[in-house]
Structure 1
């Protein structure tokens, strides 16, 4: 869709009439009167997910009881869902499991990568990440580094975190001290996207392994981990994959590393023979070695509903509409909300952005609260960033028009300028 001319709602209605993804909106339960621009933080409820959870609770648990670990396939759910999800990220069967949280899976991936480098290149002791990465990604890297330094205090072996930023580029930061590069494919705040293939190649050329966080990419942009020759990847299922609040995350490990995959969270579910109850640990010889403990089956079961929807949608079509929605959103904000101090922080180049658009404003938090009360739900991230997820499966072009009209009203009338909208909630 061209945004070079003055836009109107009628032309957007015409675009909606020919949208190949329009029917997917009926596969989600969305409240009346709400334009939901926060699927990049929590996806909406897929049709059938509540019934799936009820089946697990009212039948498999209530009647099957413990037998359901076998009869209902509970035990194999992490690997079965992993194989399904793998299709969305360029993985093969046996390379992905759905389990634990993104943070725990990142810990596992970093621990494994560091262990391999300890064996192959022991002088490499730097974990390289981005200053603007999602905070938990930095915290986990710091935790591993601190732990390794504490247990190696007597030997003087020292691990450190190196942060790339405007003053230190990735190219300059990569040297023969870097063991692991840990990056988010799409930045959580700005929506900026790395070139996965090029960055992976650069990391490997320098001798480093790479871990990709796909939390803001999986289900939103085309991802081909094997095509990019990546080493590890992690991500969540509750954003663009619509798995439900706090639904289990995933970890992907390239098959070339699986025989050497190690991490210290050696729980019984990753044991080669968990029900032999052996005294010492022997890792499973397949993808199950990425697991740790007993899985949250009810939450995990709902993930399948979101994955089914994602797999039914052609990702290239999803990507094309995502870019069109974002181009439209940016153009309309410029045309209709100019002069109100909104500063675009998302790259305009298609190859450099994911599926959300962000603007900075000194009163960003209050503006988001006012929008939410008007039925336009986005979210806020420090510092001063209004973040809008543009999810193609349930958003229309007229939704974008209507959302920007409400944003204009809020800015013109200064509806945000009341004390209640400045009071911070626990979750922003």
Structure 2
């Protein structure tokens, strides 16, 4: 942050998380809750869209698309019903920021939903939550009931003439439903599979009506922008990636958990907050944004973790799910486990992803089992090349990222598995000859 009155780690998104009964309406209202909604309802919808554009808020679900621009795609003349859909299907390995937000501060999401719906002239909002997240679903449902009783939801909200209904929908635990169009199909009661685009959701989304799909953290950021203003929001983070962000640290760190910091913070700084590497064993590799982002190594400790910084270093910011691995972990083994996940979660709609992830998993399992050959490395890269950019949605691209980056930085580890097999074959041949 550049604001002289605040320290770089002054909490914004997480400021209520440790308050007693933080999830209740009473606590939320005591800590500036729903003040942004009153302010927003006094403005014109287009003014709110321009405010979010000026703030530079970018999607916190992984893609980093400018939120205000996305809102601006919605038609201004509501010939058909408009929908706001919240993607709370947090299924990316290592990602765990939205569930604690809904647990600790569900009203920040609800207030953001009302403001965003008003800005986009939507009278219906759906919050699609991962079905296994039972406790957050209960918290969210309770918060929605409280908001209805207090007049923050329903008809004529706070006397503004604006109506909004929110429905909390529990998914069935399919990773593919994190893809926005697969999520929309699932909401409609169909099998969750990605749709062909165009048309994009802003033109024909839920029930073929104009729809915007936003991430939980993205929408929860909106009330703070309304109250603080675009300049205040831009005082945090970096020029092209402003604002605070929740970083999820897991793995070999002393204190795993959620750490809020401005975008552009480095892993070195986050490790200081988390107490350093567990048991002092050095860092070997890590993911900047979940398993679908290319791996980083200890050489990337000072890479700015924002959308541009991660991309310039050869990866993606993703969901800022930082999985930290020390020197005791085998890279081929970790890559194999992630690949098995993608094989299992492929929806099967397109051939590159359906067949490719299956064969990637087969080859990696054989290598980790000590039965690989050096040619397998070229086979892996060839299969990855035939998946990347050719699958129907981004699941295929995400599936190849740990493999290609793992081989890029740790090729010797993959080769060592192959040499072991060749050494065993030689030894077996010598034993056979001696007999």
Q: Is the pair's TM-score, using the shorter chain for normalization, greater than 0.5?
A: no
Please state which structure has a larger fraction of its residues in helix: 2
Higher-RCO chain (CA-CA 8 Å, sequence separation at least 6): 1
TM-score, with normalisation over the residues of structure 2? 0.32
TM-score, with normalisation over the residues of structure 1? 0.32
